[in-house]
Amino acid sequence: MGGHRADERVQLIVPNEVGLHARPAAMLVKVAQSFEADIRIACNGLQGDAKSMMGVLLLGAEQGMTVTVTASGSDASQALRAITGLFARAFGEMEREGTAPQAVWPALEGQPLAMDDKVSG
């Protein structure tokens, strides 16, 4: 067997007004399930499987909270990029409400998602 691959992680700020409720949680789970990587999500001292709806919802992640997403496996980097994209677009909720998302992409080295920089569109 090959050597152990180090976990990759990113910290993101929950942009949604009502936090990671059912719709964004379902989107996150769907994206996570599309990758082979083992993907975990942690917030507020709790950790869950990002491929499990219950694992994501039980975190109780509210707007403004920092979540840490950790992935390991051959497609871990791609998984983190896809999940980061969901957060950067506020899971599509801001577009539905007619406002531009106020987020920028973080570096995958663990820097938090900045919520104070406007994205022009």
Helix (H, G, I), strand (E, B) or coil at 82: helix
Q: In whole angstroms, give the CA distance from residue 79 to residue 75.
A: 6
Distance separating alpha carbons of residues 6 and 37, to the nearest angstrom? 12
For residues 22 and 37, what is the distance between their CA atoms, to the nearest angstrom? 23
State the catalytic residue, choosing from 9, 21, 81, 89: 21
Only one residue has tokens 């998602």, namely 113
**21 catalytic per annotation:** yes
Active site members: 21
